[in-house]
Chains A and B, each alone.
With several copies, the nearest count.
Chain A
Amino acid sequence: MITKQEIINWLERAGEIYEKQRGYLTELDKAIGDADHGNNMNRGFQKVTENLADHSDSDIKNILSMVAKTLISSVGGAAGPLYGTLFLKGAGSIDASDEISDSDLLHFWEEGIKGVQARGRAEAGDKTMIDSLLPALETLKQSIGNNEEITKALEKAAQSAKKGMEETIPLIAKKGRASYLGERSKEHQDPGATSSYYLVSALAEAVSNNSSE
């Protein structure tokens, strides 16, 4: 079970991370993109955090839909529609309630990532956010299939996302702005894969912190 408060904590924690890592994400994007990814993510999640204040009465589905709309209308770039779609499709796959089951959480990610792939048409290995999202999803699916504790499961998913992120370094980008660079995109970590890792690890943190309270 994930509570509404945990979801709120997740989103707020993500906002904190993006604010802190704004410069780092932008620096990564400078190497193989246009040096705005940190600014984009930070802009979007600050808006999300702001909007959360008006959502004390909303259920989780509503909150996640709000996140989708906020990201779509404030992030821009490639990241805006992609993360927006993640939340939009993810929210669409769960029931309206104040807590969600572990398998609902799995649905959220499954459907969300499917949406990201439908929108951006990136495959694993294209050096995009997909490269941290897919491994995280795979791990989560296994853990939940094995009835592991959700805290633990998310912890491991975050680890997989991190690994996926690091494994983007040697790749040649096939999608997004970095693909213009061809061979020159090698030896750089993908900014979107990095921000995706942050998103998963923020969730892991939010859920584990809450459970230990």
Chain B
Amino acid sequence: MKKLINKVDDVLNEQLKGFASAHNDLLKVNFEPTFAYRKDAPIKNKVALISGGGSGHEPLHNGYVGSGMLDAACPGEIFTSPTPDQMYEAAKKVDGGAGVLFIVKNYTGDVMNFEMAADMAREDGIDVRNVIIDDDVAVKDSLFTAGRRGMGVTVLAEKICGAAADAGYDLDQIEALCRKVNRHGKSMGMALTACITPANGTPSFDLDENKMEIGIGIHGEPGVERMELKSANEITQMLVSGILDDENYTRKLHEWSSDKNDWVDVKVTDEPIGNGDRVIAMVNSMGGTPISELYGVYSKMEELLEAAGIEIARSMVGHYITSLEMQGVSITLLKVDNELLKFYDAPVHTPGWHQ
């Protein structure tokens, strides 16, 4: 294992310490339990946004803490969901009286830990909602499984909802907006290589020189299918088709009902993306892929979208949601209207996204 680290057990804390001081103009980091939060939190009467998940996806989520995006982020161990006490303490720290939205990627661990945290925070009188992001079209079956994973749409949900919170949306509105983003966005990813967590010291899976994994998540886990290595054009074609050909995806999501004061299962159906739509198009590095290669993928993606009658309203190419040093790429398309675009364009000041 070749990594810029010291003792394996210290990795997370040392990195967080460095992160905190490198960005002390924007945020602070609390330890025991661990969470990063806006320096100026709580913002009175603004809905607070909290996300979190395993570490190793940098800049997600810590890198999106700051004005215009997240109020707090809770990092777990590498590729392991954070624990409820982190989100609970973060919620208490950043709630400005207008309630808290948890943006949760749809991994069993994340979902359960955030649910427990929400229950804890509600006991303290904080109004908390959990919105689940499950945008990974590579996972087909859903009714009796954990469903689709949360991927690139998470970043867009954080950005767009962050701007809406700044603009004065209340908790109900932000919750609805966040669900809308999730329903309008789809992602698919692939890996050329595995990655190595410091704790394990060996690759998360073994992949031959002439093989690739298609339909991966973001935790160094194997994908839905292993196949022969293909050209960038063929890979891009697979990812874009995966997204555009996705049929009306319907599943039940576990959401908090303020009316019923309990968790309920809500049936949700995604919007298809097709002819005449405008999208935000993200080409995301899995971490170790050079930025230049992303542009090759972008070029082919644009050609395919144009052929499908889809207009790229905004483009994102870079490191947004990664898996350590894994080489590979994911594509995310978010179908937008004026509301989403306006919030996407709003200013943001975080370590990972400045505009």
Contacts and interface: CB of A to CB of B under 8 A. Distances in A.
User: Is the A/B pair a real complex?
Assistant: yes
A92 interface: no
A40 B199 CA distance: 10
A68 to B, nearest CB: 11
A175 B85 CA distance: 24
A154 to B, nearest CB: 28
A36 B54 CA distance: 11
B81 to A, nearest CB: 5
A184 interface: yes
B108 A176 contact: yes
Question: How many residues of A sit at the interface, in one of the four size bands?
Answer: 35 or more
Taking chain A's interface residues, is the majority helix, strand, or loop, or is none over half, making it mixed? helix
Contacts, number: 115
Given A39-B199, A181-B222, A76 B80 contact: yes
A80 B81 contact: yes
B83 A74 contact: yes
Contacts of A173: 145
Nearest to A44: B83
A76 B82 contact: yes
A120 B78 CA distance: 22
Contact of B205 (A30, A43, A72): A30
Contacts of A26: 200
B324 to A, nearest CB: 12
B203 to A, nearest CB: 9
A182 B141 contact: yes
A179 B80 CA distance: 17
Interface in B148-199: 149, 197, 199
Contacts of B112: 78, 81-82, 119-120
B50 to A, nearest CB: 16
A79 B110 CA distance: 11
Contacts of A39: 77, 80, 199-200
Contact of A34 (B82, B145, B219): B219
B285 interface: no
Contact of B109 (A35, A77, A174, A184): A77
Interface residues of B, number: 39
B83 A34 contact: no
Nearest to A34: B219
B123 to A, nearest CB: 15
A124 to B, nearest CB: 13
B127 to A, nearest CB: 22
A80 B200 contact: no
Contact of B83 (A80, A174, A184): A80
Interface string A31-54: 011111001100100000000000
A30 B204 contact: yes
Contact of B113 (A76, A126, A174, A184): A76
Contacts of B220: 34-35
Interface string B213-234: 0000101111011000000000
B107 interface: yes
B274 interface: no
Given A36-B79, A73-B85, A175 B224 contact: no
16 contacts: A30-B200, A30-B205, A34-B79, A34-B204, A34-B220, A73-B83, A76-B81, A76-B109, A78-B107, A78-B109, A80-B81, A81-B109, A174-B145, A179-B141, A180-B149, A182-B140
Interface of B: 33, 54, 76-85, 107-109, 112-113, 115-116, 138-141, 144-146, 149, 197, 199-200, 204-205, 217, 219-222, 224-225
